[in-house]
Amino acid sequence: MRTETTKEAPSIEEAVDAALEELGVQADAAEFEVIEAPTRGVFGSGKPAVVRVWLKPDVAAAIEAGENSEEDLEEEPLPVELRVEQESPELSEEDLDKVADTAVAVIQQILAGFGIEAAIDEYEGDDGEIILDIVGGDLALLIGRHGKTLDSVQTLVGAATSRQLGFRYPIVVDVEGYRSRRREKVEDMAKRTADRAVRQGRPVKLRPMTSYERRLVHMALREDRRVVTASEGEDPARSVVVSPK
């Protein structure tokens, strides 16, 4: 049984995603550290992200004892926007302020690296997560193509904040509401695709998506008893297929 792996990829999120897929677990079942953040060089000379991912001790023990079902272990990990960490402690208002302040400080360091000046608005999400929305100025660079840069920032902020605090708490990093708009768009597309698959009586393959978008599709259709979803292919051409039951 493999309990640890090291992966490299163009972004931190893609490296973590590849490691989770190799270990065959959800994000909640593992911990990770960023060994090297990605850099962007001239003419493609930048360096990839390098991360180390390992199973939590109780999960490793459960797998070894055969106590976890195959479905639980192989389900595609959920994005932070759609879940609250199972191990998030009950915190006082003062503790929550400390979590937010720590995350904001990390974001400000990242913004400084991009040469961006912006404000950070703080909200509480529906599931108790802390949402930090970066607003003001030209922030397209911070979002990146299909939100990949923002996904990397999200992962980096979560890892750095957890390391400083000594525990994990769900934090969502957004840029002027981009994630919320993106989520609504993908969920609407997923539902329309399910209707089409049922109407035509055949599988429908969506365009290649990032891991975040694929997870949104899986979640949007999880309760739809008419269809099943599955990811196929290799990144960056990996996509979701929606099939009628």
The string of pLDDT tens digits covering residues 37-70 is 888 765 556 788 899 988 777 656 544 543 333 3
How high is the pLDDT of residue 183? 86
Would you give the DSSP letter of residue 49?
E
> Model-level pTM?
0.55
CA 84 to centroid of chain Cα atoms: 12
What pLDDT score does 244 carry? 95
Place of tokens 């957004």: 174
Using an 8 Å Cβ cutoff, are 11 and 152 in contact? yes
Chain-centroid distance, C-alpha 52: 16
Tens of pLDDT along the chain (245 residues) come to 578 889 988 888 888 888 877 776 666 667 888 888 888 765 556 788 899 988 777 656 544 543 333 333 233 444 444 443 344 557 788 888 999 999 999 999 888 877 888 999 998 887 788 999 999 877 887 887 667 778 778 888 888 888 888 888 888 899 999 988 888 999 999 999 999 999 999 999 998 887 778 888 998 999 999 999 999 888 778 899 999 99
Q: What pLDDT, on the 0 to 100 scale, is given for residue 68?
A: 36
CATH of segment(s) 180-244: 3.30.1370.50
182-204 pLDDT, tens digit each: 889 999 999 999 999 999 999 99
Listed by start position, the domains of the chain span 4-77, 93-176, 180-244
Q: Domain 93-176's class? A: alpha beta
Can you say whether residue 239 is alpha, beta or left, with left for phi > 0 and alpha for psi between -120 and 50 degrees? Answer: beta
